[in-house]
Amino acid sequence: MLIDFFFALRAARLPVTIPEYLSLLEAIKADVIEPSVDEFYHLARMSLVKNEAHFDKFDRAFATYFRGGSAALEMGKDIPLDWLRKHFERELTPEDKARIEAMGWDKLMDRIKQLLEEQKERHEGGNKWIGTGGTSPFGAHGYNPEGIRIGQDKSRNRSAVKVWDKREFKDYDDSIELDTRSIKVALRRLRKFARQGAAEELDLDHTIHATAANAGMLDIKMVPERHNTVKVLLLMDVGGSMDDHVHRVEELFSAAKSEFKHLEFFYFHNCVYDFMWKNNHRRFTEKVPTWDILRKYNKDYKLIFVGDATMSPYEILQPHGSVEYNNEEAGAEWIARLTHAFPNHAWINPEPQGVWGYRQSVSIMQQLVGGRMFPMSLQGLESAMRLLSK
């Protein structure tokens, strides 16, 4: 099996080598891990992946090979992978989907805990148990307006309020070469130039006057170079539905790092909660408390959120609503704190503005940021930068 796993990684263009593979086998023979998919994942990544830049590619290859992943919700029980294996995919008409009712947050959480105690076998195509291809709120490859996605390789309907499978996110690339300068031009509307440091550039007007006053003898005058002194705090949504917008966000991120000398950035997933992070591969081990960010950066900073605001409304309004962990306070509380601490704020949304009105979470987030949400178009960026420059 592990030979096939090795070739699956090579097929995914990961630079794994035979000596690293042999080291992995030696570690397994030495019983350094328990017989667990979770522990094998960490051991394999440590043994085979030499560069953090390949973590995301490894995660995708691992998930594709093992068809399941590990539990991210700590319910105290593993779900057999056979319960979640896809044998067929049920086709539902729009009328069929409209008849399926959402359970609501509290009932959903209570029900999955109950099912984990009661269910003893695989179910397929039904509307009650954890299974596949049906209309139950729990499982994979089916449909429900609000459910917990378990054992599915990727989002299909984007209606899950919890995601059982834990996935590593990839950092946005801030060194991407831009095909156009238009994003930079739009960002330049947010600027406040000041002269700082030693003299570095020619002061042409003063040089002309000084030379004339010196009977034509050249008298060069220098002044410090002007820099954009605007301070920007950039908070970026990553993973999930934002995977559709990676290239555009990378362009924006790259342009922002080029244009703003004083730029601080952090990542979040779907909604801001009590912590954020700088490195997606270590987001659970190198957390940055949101309270620390609020204390460290003052009102001189312009706050820019970047995200599609596309999620379950529970993730914004409900304690424990995060798809990844049980947050003690609702995301709306943290958005309110951030917008109060940084009155000069704006939200950049990469989703087309025409669909905003059809997504409840986008409307909620628009209200929370005081209507300061703009599309990630050139016109939208220019409007956002004009607002922030006031």
Distance CA(131)–CA(138), nearest Å, equals 7
pLDDT at 181: 57
148 secondary structure, DSSP code: E
Q: Are residues 328 and 252 in the same domain?
A: yes
Residues 279 and 314 in one domain: yes
> Does 308 share its domain with 201?
no
Mark whether 125 and 273 lie in a shared domain.
no
pLDDT of residue 275: 95
Which CATH number characterizes residue 254's domain?
3.40.50
In a domain, 72, yes or no: no
Residue 384 clears pLDDT 50, i.e. is over it: yes
Q: Which of 235, 265, 259 lies closest to 187 in space, CA to CA?
A: 259
- Considering the chain, what is the average pLDDT of its residues? 76
Q: State the pLDDT at residue 140.
A: 56
Judged by DSSP in three states, 369 sits in: coil
Do 256 and 134 lie in a common domain?
no
Domain end residue (candidates: 17, 32, 66)? 66
Both 350 and 234 in one domain: the answer is yes
Quote the domain boundaries for residue 208. Answer: 195-227
Give yes or no: residues 363 and 285 share one domain: yes
Question: In which residue are the tokens 């089916």 written?
Answer: 142
Q: Is residue 76 part of a domain?
A: no
pLDDT band for position 129 (50/70/90)? low
Mark whether 346 and 251 lie in a shared domain: yes
- Residue 171 in any domain: the answer is no
The reported pLDDT for the residue numbered 338 is 97
pLDDT of amino acid 264: 93
Is residue 36 left, alpha or beta, with left meaning phi > 0 and alpha meaning psi from -120 to 50?
Answer: beta
Residue 199: which pLDDT band, with cuts at 50, 70 and 90?
Answer: low
Residue 112 lies in a domain: yes
Q: Both 8 and 126 in a single domain?
A: no
| Confidence label for 120 from pLDDT (cuts 50, 70 and 90) | low
| 95 and 138 assigned to the same domain | yes
Helix (H, G, I), strand (E, B) or coil at 233: strand
The domain boundary residue, chosen from 66, 90, 109 = 66
Question: In terms of domains, do 239 and 221 share one?
Answer: no
d(CA 334, CA 336): 5
pLDDT tens figures, 207-251: 888 888 887 888 887 766 555 578 899 999 998 889 888 888 888
pLDDT digit string, tens, across residues 276-316? 999 888 777 889 999 999 999 999 899 999 999 999 898 99
pLDDT for residue 321 is more than 70: yes
What total of structural domains would you count in the chain? 4
Taking alpha carbons only, the member of 201, 191, 178 closest to residue 263 is: 191
Give me the mean pLDDT over the 31-57 stretch.
82
291 and 154 share one domain: no
Q: What percent of the chain has pLDDT over 70?
A: 64
In the predicted structure, residue 69 carries a pLDDT above the cut 60: no
Cβ contacts of residue 330 below 8 Å, gap of 6+? 316, 317, 318, 319, 321
